[in-house]
Amino acid sequence: MAPNKIQQSSMLSLLGVLVMIQLAGAAGTDSADRSLIVNGLIQTIQSVGPEGTGHAPAIRAVGELQQADVSVLPDIVKAFDDASPLAANWLRGSFEAIADRATKSGKPLPVVELEKLVRDIGRNPRARRLTYEWLLKADPELPERMLAQFLEDPSPEFRRDAVARLLNRAATHVSEEKNSEAIDTYRDALRGAVDNDQVEEIVAALETLGETVDLQRHFGYLTSWHLIGPFENLGRKGFDATYPPEKVVDHSATYDGQLGPVQWQSVTTHDDYGLINIAEQFEDYKGSAMYAQTEFVSEKDQEIVLRLSTPNAWKLWLNGKLLFAREEYHRGTRLDQYRIPTELQRGTNMILLKVLQNEQMQNFAQRYEFRLRVCDATGSAVASHRD
């Protein structure tokens, strides 16, 4: 028979008593009992559900867990892996309460176990970062010892720190007129850099040292396309209209367009950030829909993220499957404005993008452009195999 609410409350209270007995160092509570108790509290926290389900027991469990010894910190870090966002917040609070109490009392954290968890890239990124920051408080030399391995870490925060470390080292080489060492260090930093501000700093430094950087390749921008259009979008009717390129991509075909016959045209951009400027390619483009198509060759089946920037309305297909669409005009644009997780199949993948312009005549409404890149979850470029 399942326990009623009164019985459940009594059981939780008993768990709290047992935890307190353990904390007091009672001889009758061995490590196996302690582990069982702590795991029970963590599972109660992890079980919290939406709309208040399990909140009351979870809150009590948090209060009891926060009284535990520092030896439970690795267990809390591991628990992030299977925690909802709400449960993760409570686990974080428990970790910080325990670590703070230990620090103030001069009791050391279980450094060896915690460092091992920080190095484990399979662990929850938030938990790894939380652990790293607490370890850093006690050990200012930690970055020099650990950051080198984070240059290509799946956590953007760790990558950024690792790149910043190399940037400082490269600047020191420059000040000492060790240009060869500086170039090598900047190149190493670029390998892990995914944030544009860091990339720009590296590029500027390398250019000063007489080096060049292929930003298109670094970011994974798709630079060679076939374009066709314009098709009609007067009155914005083109967004839902199905024009021939959505049915089949035939580069030899000719179709009836908005202003007469249209054919596919090859376009290659030399812009560092892969910009395809449709307004420069076609004179009459107001109230129109254009299609852009390219291929990407993948060495394997893999998960990737397509990152698109455009101020125009758009639809995006991969291998004939509509991934996402947004009917919004003149929103403005920025790098990696839209991020669309998807999967590439091994071999050739066909990417089709529909970009639409409305009929507004204001100066701000004249941009008709896009840029698209292929990367992994961290923002690192994924290269087409034919490259």
Architecture of domain 219-375: Sandwich (2.60)
pLDDT of 257 above 50: yes
* Tokens coding 381: 């470029």
- Tell me the pLDDT tens digit for each residue of 237-256: 999 999 999 999 999 999 99
pTM to 2 decimals?
0.81
Q: What percent of the chain has pLDDT over 90?
A: 78
Q: Burial, 367: exposed, middle or buried (Cβ in 10 Å; 0-12, 13-18, 19+)?
A: middle
User: What one-character-per-residue DSSP string does 54-106 give?
Assistant: THHHHHHHHHHHTTS-GGGHHHHHHHGGG--HHHHHHHHHHHHHHHHHHHHHT
- pLDDT for position 289: 96
Q: What does the pLDDT average to over 347-368?
A: 87
Q: What does the pLDDT average to over 135-143?
A: 92
Q: Grade residue 55 by pLDDT with cuts at 50, 70 and 90.
A: confident
Q: Burial, 2: exposed, middle or buried (Cβ in 10 Å; 0-12, 13-18, 19+)?
A: exposed
Domain boundaries, the chain: 5-139, 152-213, 219-375
Lowest-pLDDT range, 10-14, 53-57, 206-210? Answer: 10-14
Q: What is the mean pLDDT of the chain?
A: 89
Under a CB-based contact definition with an 8 Å cutoff, are residues 385 and 298 in contact? Answer: yes
- Tell me the pLDDT tens digit for each residue of 312-338: 999 999 999 999 999 988 877 889 999
Q: What does the pLDDT average to over 36-52?
A: 86
pLDDT of 35 above 50: yes
- Tell me the pLDDT tens digit for each residue of 66-111: 999 999 999 999 999 999 999 999 999 999 999 999 999 999 999 9
